Structure 1
Amino acid sequence: MSDYIVRGMAANGQIRAFAALTKDTVETARQAHDTSPVATAALGRLLTAGGMMGAMMKGEQDVLTLQIKAGGPLQGITVTADSQGNVKGYVGNPQVILPANEKGKLDVASAVGPGFLNVIKDMGMKEPYSGQTMLQTCEIAEDLTYYFATSEQVPSSVGLGVLMGRENTVRQAGGFIVQLMPFAEEAVISQLEDNLKGITSVTGLLDEGNTPEQLLERLLGNLNLELSDTLPVRFCCNCSKTRVEKALISIGRQELKSMIQEGKPVELNCHFCNTNYQFSIEELKDILHRCR
């Protein structure tokens, strides 16, 4: 089954919800960055959240950036997403290894460490929207729940999970975001809270064969759930040698001359997908010629 996000409403528009399957997306990221299991889990959770939050945006050119800047050995996480289901991201230290936590699970919280979550939405306005909150648990899902409540004043519940399999490949990955509208009635809120208590593990449900649609059915089936549409989600980086050339032009003639004088090819790396781009001396001279 290919990765996708499903969107829906419930309680006659009092609730909006998103659920995602992101197994292949997270596995692609793991392969690109050669991440350790705990790094894969942390990056995968934020990639899943980014995909669903990107699906909340409407403009084709809208871009969402999620940044976790924290003091743990993971050295932070950055994810970007658009409204078409394209996500990409990286961690500062992809090889971090930690013992399991007291529950015997991957210790994402210790890997992330204390710090801040930044959410930046570039929607074509003069200035992008930016919100920042302090990490509450460093488990990512709870931190996003806190962000929605404090920065966007939208009561939300976020569930995210990555389950690793044999040989440290991704066995399951996915999540959900459920949000209450301002006019939600107390009876609806109470029922939703009861429903959420029955969801103990997102990856456990996915591993049992549940689809994103069935996740939402479990969460909102008794609240008149109406599914609206689905959106493919995938790990996709828009880097290219042409884009890297533009970056080289932007550093200026003096810096380019210094590179050429060293007499060695230059290799530049894309942080998001870990692709390397090499430029020969002749190519650098050509770029310098076009740099005005």
Structure 2
Amino acid sequence: MSAYKDYIVRATAADDAIRAFAITSKDLVEFARASHNTSPVVTAALGRMLSAAAMMGIMMKGDDDMLTLQIQGNGPMKGITVTADAKGHVKGFANVPDVMLPPNKDGKLDVGGAIDLGIMRVIKDMGLKEPYVGTVPLQTGEIAEDLTYYFATSEQVPSSVGLGVLMNKDNTVAQAGGFIIQLMPFTSDEIIEKLEENIKNLPSVTTMLSEGKTPEQILETVLAGFDVTFHETVDAGFVCDCSAERVERSLCSLGDEDVADIIADGKPIEVKCQFCNKAYNYTVDELIEMRKRK
């Protein structure tokens, strides 16, 4: 588990016409990179998704609410799945973790090329009969622009999303974080114009983080000229709830023939959690015991 050095801030501005979130997520993104041994471009994509999902998670009200943010793309990475709760906990994985691509013309990691076009899906499980599912076509595959489009079309909330991951020369994570700014329905044209002007002149998220800006200072930069009120700070971390019991339950859910085949092989098996890559090992004797219990 990653130690909590990362956190999210939630704020409002312009007499509650604007709501805003920002995160610093370097440690949780580095934890994901180390767990999945991701290539730099995959680390950047997964890191952006984890940062966004963490902020979207704390927008939910219930303690047991769960959010899943998923991308299915035509590029070599295939897709990414990330889940978040309302407490700042996230976990996630990329379908193909070792994709290597040359950088963009501007020298940046080609996240859009690794993902390409496809769909973005947001699933909110809020304890109702059916989860809310919003699906939009990817606009760029760069993730921030795709989320901006999702909020505008699926949730009818005009938003601006900024996300960034900066890598060190040794391919560890140097900086990661982002922001989400959203306008309430009663926002005046004057406020919208001022905000658009601010965003147009904004340095990149990784530039602001590299300058040492905190999430609070990032929001103050984005919302320059507005009165900003900070409401809460939430610790953020990569937290996986996998366990030996859960893995055992999934093994028990296999058909009798499948379990018999595994036992007949006479070799111990290793089962890895898709989200955190933790390995669970079982001997043949343990599998036989498990079958008896089933």
Aligned equivalents of 1:167 and 1:215: distance in 2?
27
Partner residue of 1:143?
146
Residue 128 (structure 2) pairs with residue 125 (structure 1):
yes
What are the equivalent positions in structure 2 for 1:264-275 lying under 5 Å apart? 264-275=267-278
CA contact (8 A) 2:21 2:179 kept: yes
Partner residue of 1:164?
167
Choose which of 243, 251, 264 in structure 1 pairs with 2:246.
243
Following superposition, the deviation at residue 285 of structure 1 comes to 1.2
Following superposition, the deviation at residue 243 of structure 1 comes to 0.8
Aligned equivalents of 1:190 and 1:180: distance in 2?
12
Residue 197 (structure 2) pairs with residue 190 (structure 1):
no
Secondary structure of the corresponding residue to residue 99 of structure 2: coil
Question: Where do 5+ consecutive residues of structure 2 fail to align?
Answer: none
Residue 182 (structure 2) pairs with residue 179 (structure 1):
yes
* Of 171-180 and 191-200, the range deviating more from structure 2: 191-200
Following superposition, the deviation at residue 166 of structure 1 comes to 2.2
Aligned equivalents of 2:88 and 2:220: distance in 1?
22
Amino acid at match of 1:185: S
Partner residue of 2:226?
223
Aligned equivalents of 2:259 and 2:100: distance in 1?
38
Following superposition, the deviation at residue 123 of structure 1 comes to 0.7
Amino acid at match of 2:69: L
* Of 225-234 and 276-285, the range deviating more from structure 2: 276-285
What are the equivalent positions in structure 2 for 1:1-292 lying under 5 Å apart? 2-291=5-294
Following superposition, the deviation at residue 198 of structure 1 comes to 2.1
Amino acid at match of 1:279: Y
The CA deviation string for residues 126-152 of structure 1, in whole angstroms up to 9 with x for no partner, is: 111101000001100000000000001
CA contact (8 A) 2:72 2:119 kept: yes
TM-score, normalised with respect to structure 1? 0.98
Following superposition, the deviation at residue 283 of structure 1 comes to 1.1
CA contact (8 A) 2:198 2:224 kept: no
The CA deviation string for residues 152-184 of structure 1, in whole angstroms up to 9 with x for no partner, is: 100000000000012011000000000001111
Secondary structure of the corresponding residue to residue 45 of structure 2: helix
Amino acid at match of 2:78: Q
Percent of aligned positions that are identical: 57
